[in-house]
Amino acid sequence: MMQMLQAGGLEPLTDGVRKPDPDNPRGYFEFEKVKNLPAGSSWLTQAEGRAVKIVSPLLSHLPPEYEYRIIFMRRAMAEILASQAEMLTRAGREADPAENDRLAPVFARQIEEAEDWTAGQANIKFIRINYRDVLDRPEKEAERINQFLGGRLKVAEMVKVVDPNLYRQRNG
């Protein structure tokens, strides 16, 4: 998603701390200060008009004095957990299948809570985008995203960066 937004003309707020690797060869598009959102949000002034990657459990720490447009990227939980297990294996740590069984409902609950919280905020508009739909119908999803963000993005450029070869953890 961050690659699509950047290609479409929306500058991402990143710091380059987390470098591309075999798990994410095009990079992570992260900004380290996001992790400290519960402790402070002064960095948000740098984010105005830009794309920022924020994991769902941190969304409820967004201060109410700003307006936000949130793109919820949804992906099958089995694929998320398989991807994390592969990352652990590459890092030399053993993934525990029992841990996945424990984590799946926790992650699902966090996502549901984040979406419920977001839906109740007057200063937030949001859209759900399914990861698989982006791969199967990139033009349609890029256009949906463009419309959601005000119609100023370059849809054809967004579509060009969608690479089905990077979809390695398929569920079905």
The per-residue pLDDT for range 121-160, each reduced to its tens digit, is 999 999 999 999 999 999 999 999 999 999 999 999 999 9
Summarize the confidence of residues 98-112 as an average pLDDT.
Answer: 87
Is 107 part of any domain?
Answer: yes
Q: Which residues contact 62 (CB under 8 A, 6 or more apart)?
A: 37, 41, 44, 54, 68, 124
User: Do the Cβ atoms of 159 and 142 come closer than 8 Å?
Assistant: yes
Alpha helices, DSSP H only, in 57-154? 77-90, 97-119, 131-136, 138-148
| Band of pLDDT at residue 99, cut at 50, 70 and 90 | confident
Q: How many domains does the chain have?
A: 1
Domain span including residue 130: 2-166
Q: How many of the other CB atoms lie within 10 Å of CB of 146? A: 20
Q: Which residues contact 73 (CB under 8 A, 6 or more apart)?
A: 1, 129, 131
| Band of pLDDT at residue 169, cut at 50, 70 and 90 | low
Q: What pLDDT was estimated at residue 85?
A: 72
Give the global pTM. 0.86
Is 6 part of any domain?
Answer: yes
Is 144 part of any domain?
Answer: yes
Is 171 part of any domain?
Answer: no
Summarize the confidence of residues 66-94 as an average pLDDT.
Answer: 83
CA neighbours within 13 Å on the CB side: how many for 87? Answer: 12
